[in-house]
Amino acid sequence: MTVHKLRSGQQPVGRGRPPAPDGESRADVLAPEPASGDVPFALTRIGPEARREAQRVLASGWVTTGPETERFEHEFAEYVSAAHAVAVSSCTAALELALRALRLPAGGTVLVPAVTFCGAAQAALHAGLRPVLVDVDPRTGMPTPATVSRAARACGCPQAMTVLHYAGSPAPVAELAEAARLPLTHVIEDAAHALGTTVGDRPVGSLSRATCFSFYATKNLPIGEGGMLTTDDPELAERVRRARLHGMSADAWRRDLPGGSWRYTVEEAGLKANMTDVQAAIGRAQLRHFDGWQRRRHALAARYEAALRTVPGLAPLEPATPGRHARHLYVVRVLPEYGTDRDELIERLAECGIGTSVHFIPLHHMPHFQRAAITPPGGLPGADALFPQLLSLPLYPHLTDRAVDRVCAELARLGPRRPTRRTAPPTGLRALVVGAGEAGQALARDLARTPQFGLDPVGFLDDDPAKHRVGDIGGLPVLGRLDDTGATVSAHRIEAVVVAIPGLAAARFRWVASTAEAAGARVRYLPSFIAALRRDVVGCDMRSLDVHALIGRPEIQVVSSEAGSTIAGRRVLVTGAGGSIGSELCHQVQAFGPSRLFLVDHDESNLHRLQLELHGDALHADDVVISDIRDRPRIDQIFRELRPEVVFHAAAHKHLPLLELNPGEGVKSNVRGTENLVRAAVANGTSRFVLISTDKAADPVSVLGATKRLSELIVQNAQQDAPPGTVFCAVRFGNVLGSRGSLLSVLAEQLGAGTPVTVTHPDVTRFFMTVEEAAGLVLEAARMAQGGEVFVLDMSGPVRIVDLVREYARSVHVPDVDIRFTGLRPGEKLNETLFSAQEHHTRTSHPRILAATSVSPPVAPAGLLPVLYGAAERNDTAAVRHALADLFPGFPACPPADQRHAGLADPYPDDF
């Protein structure tokens, strides 16, 4: 392949370095971070975990093929559902070894796609065989049964065939084998692009006699160099294992172990094509992150597809058979309608700082293969037509959405001019309407002409093929089917998804909702399904979506798609899982694909309810844990047995007035419970621990605030002694709209009952956030944390409770709300703050998340906790308050006697 320089006339990236093997530029391997605005075609990053693993192997003294390679083989075989895996030096070596292991007659013919990497044909030649080139379908880039049959006739009777899953797209392996009149035992799959591909629902790796994978630096699982052969045939696996080390007898590497024998034999020709333990260590570490990287590749590909759909003359390759695409490459065809040929487009993009590539130069265009390979009579017209059109665009997991948008914008600019209609700038969240029927169309019209709803519709999802053929409904495009929810949300930067299908099954709705949330969007369905069956959709049904009017600012898109990398494939534990915040967090975590999600709570009823919501049944008992976080032996047992890698600690006592009356209980749960969890996390190798705190922890004057500040200090101090790779952090919530017992739920109850709305004081203010913002803040904090931070969402200014109450009443058509002022209760502030007087805030990599940093080092609470714990265990309320006052200047050692029970009869609309 050819990797093009970014800017014509400048020195190519990597000049002065030796050329990389396999015909690829070393810029792919060692490329520096791009200059501002540049979008390289490919960049490789070997993560810190992989580097640490490589260092571990180097320190072990065993760096060639050894135990680490053997472990990688077992893990990789399990991942692709194969019985055996043999690690080798490259995919080309794997292809050659696989063909050798078939023991075909010398000079036997092997069918090879005409559009493939030259190494695939070289592998056949090196194995003593002769390639027969197979033409491809220009629409898919891959052979068809018809072209395979024609190539088979050209050579009489082929002995074997290699099938390439081009760019990561699934190839119809069985159909092609049948067309070649070959059994699958004589088919070798070239899966250099296809780790993560499935043909139908079967993973590539166990479909044919042998499958060959590449771990080159730009592949889906980058190691640097390396390959893997997988097979279900133990005899073939053993042949390859011997042949990769000069044909030496099995277990030759073990002769250097204590008790090993120097005796070995060589029964047939082999080559030097083994993988080292250093490469294997990197591969094992990278494999743990593979699923998250694949989700990112799919999101980027969907973004390309959505943006380029409207550019005439650019056509993505079509799938050759059903299955999952691994998205190693994003290849488009530059058709005549585009108005600029492929080579000129490559140069113009390079001048803009955008790198591209071509995969591949057809084999029959190269002199060596013109002589060495067999070309069917009539030539290879499909490959000849396709090659001038092929263009591969940048695609790698750490490519940013902004970079993809820039590539698409340049492709649109350089393409044919199209008239565009002028549209008003959007005024609200970018909204996707699920359902393009009458309800969805009416809803989209209402949203578009009523900007105060705070939603700006950008398109529909619908499963009706007829609507896709129409393409444009009421001025909005049909962007995909319901199965495309996640990809569409990512590609179009969707911030809100509104379901407008009255008859949508509950299970299907849950799937759409969880998929949208995993991609970073929030989900609404208004009006309710039952109501939608009885009346037309009208704009007033959407008024509860107008969060801007209630909290004085737009909702913030907090969670990014990158947050999933912290969750995917890991063992995650959530305390307080049955609560409103904990359960919302579990829904979002579940959507990111953890390997296990453990739900911990002391309330079994809430856990049972959450199980039903997450799984549709309550049979996942092994993931549900009933426990009180105050029970240290039980917590130690849970962490020892479950060994969670990520912990979200949401369990707490948080009812402010009740904790003023029962401060010892707040200490037992919020302080000692947190300490129990932190100790267990450190002891059992938890890598990330996120504490959910409250803005009341800033300069606390309540038991809730003081105990939560202590829990923050425990987390921060744990970071100082934490082992490498362990990260502790905390997040402070404002008041959460939509959580159980929150202001909106209390308002709804009071207005519905016709009773006066209770507010503590005419001038009381609070910071507010939505449930989605709260859960997003937690997930983003887990992603960004380096250790010891306290993260806070930038919620702009505080909101007067009276103003929020009146705005909410207007939204539900109660214009004259009756408000009764009850007076501030003990521990309540007139105005909350996000940061204490001893803290300053700094910006983070997220534009709307701040980090609180103490002006002076935080007080280590460890020496003061025994006194506090002793008072709590004795249930000595006065002693608990005095201990808290000693810890926090400004905390009242004793509340005014005449206020101790003030307002407790009133609802408590102050939840976090």
Element (H, E) at 407: helix 401-414
Which tokens in the block code for residue 811?
């939204």
Q: From CA 666, how far away is CA 708, in angstroms rounded?
A: 9
Q: What is the DSSP letter of 790?
A: E
- SS3 state at 270: coil
Q: From CA 535, how far away is CA 480, in angstroms rounded?
A: 27
Q: From CA 824, how far away is CA 660, in angstroms rounded?
A: 13
Q: Are 228 and 88 in contact (CB under 8 A)?
A: yes
Structure-derived torsion over alpha carbons of residues 875, 876, 881, 883, reported in degrees to the nearest 10:
-100
Burial degree of 383 (CB within 10 A; 0-12, 13-18, 19+): buried
Which tokens in the block code for residue 413?
């600019």
Other CB atoms within a 10 A radius of the CB of residue 884 amount to 27
Written as one string, the DSSP assignment of 669-704 is: IIIIIHHHHHHHHHHTT-SEEEEEEEGGGSS--SHH
Q: Are 604 and 626 in contact (CB under 8 A)?
A: yes
Q: From CA 144, how far away is CA 383, in angstroms rounded?
A: 12
C-alpha closest to that of 436 among 454, 411, 457, 451: 457
- SS3 state at 172: coil
Instruction: Identify each DSSP E strand in 803-902 by its residue range.
Output: 819-821, 839-843, 849-854
Other CB atoms within a 10 A radius of the CB of residue 7 amount to 18
Q: From CA 54, how far away is CA 66, in angstroms rounded?
A: 13
Exposure string of 856-874, with b = 16+ CB inside 10 Å and e = fewer, is: eebeebeebbeebbebbee
Q: Are 317 and 139 in contact (CB under 8 A)?
A: yes
Which tokens in the block code for residue 805?
């109450």
Q: Are 162 and 285 in contact (CB under 8 A)?
A: no
Q: Is 708 a catalytic residue?
A: no
Is the CA virtual torsion 762, 765, 766, 770 positive or negative? positive
Question: Which residues touch 842 (CB under 8 Å, ≥6 apart)?
Answer: 850, 851, 853
Which listed residue (654, 668, 696, 708) is catalytic?
696
- SS3 state at 45: coil
Q: From CA 222, how far away is CA 821, in angstroms rounded?
A: 63
Task: Map tokens 């209760």 to a residue.
Answer: 825
Q: From CA 242, how far away is CA 267, in angstroms rounded?
A: 9
Q: From CA 122, how far away is CA 128, in angstroms rounded?
A: 10
- SS3 state at 210: strand
C-alpha gyration radius of the chain: 31
State which amino acid sits at residue 295.
R
Instruction: Enumerate the active-site residues.
Output: 696
